[in-house]
Amino acid sequence: MIMHNWAYEDVLAFAKSWSSVYFMMLFAVVLVWAYWPRNRARFQDAARIPLKDEDA
């Protein structure tokens, strides 16, 4: 990509708009991964870690 004398404000606007899109997509991926049925057992095991007896 060739930058044709972009001003600071142009770069800032580009970064703000595309970073918003990027983080919304990242949030959606993490949300889908967290609620995927196959991961349920893993998360339930992780939720019980503080309750496990260390001697057992």
- Reported as a single tens digit per residue, the pLDDT across 9-56 is 888 888 888 999 999 999 999 999 999 999 999 999 999 999 988 775
Helix, strand, coil % over all residues of the chain, rounded to 5: 75, 0, 25
Asked if the structure places residue 38 within a domain, the reply is yes
| Res. 1 pLDDT band, cuts 50 70 90 | low
Asked if the structure places residue 40 within a domain, the reply is yes
The domain tally of the chain equals 1
What are phi and psi for residue 4, nearest 5 degrees? -95, 85
Asked if the structure places residue 3 within a domain, the reply is no
Residue 38: give the domain boundaries.
8-49
Asked if the structure places residue 56 within a domain, the reply is no
pTM: 0.62
Asked if the structure places residue 26 within a domain, the reply is yes
Alpha-carbon separation of residue 28 from 9, 22, 54 (angstroms): 29, 10, 36
- Stated length of the chain: 56
Asked if the structure places residue 54 within a domain, the reply is no
Q: Which residue has the tokens 């496990």?
A: 52
3-state secondary structure of 5: coil
Q: Report how far residue 37's alpha carbon sits from residue 39's, in angstroms, rounded to the nearest whole number.
A: 5
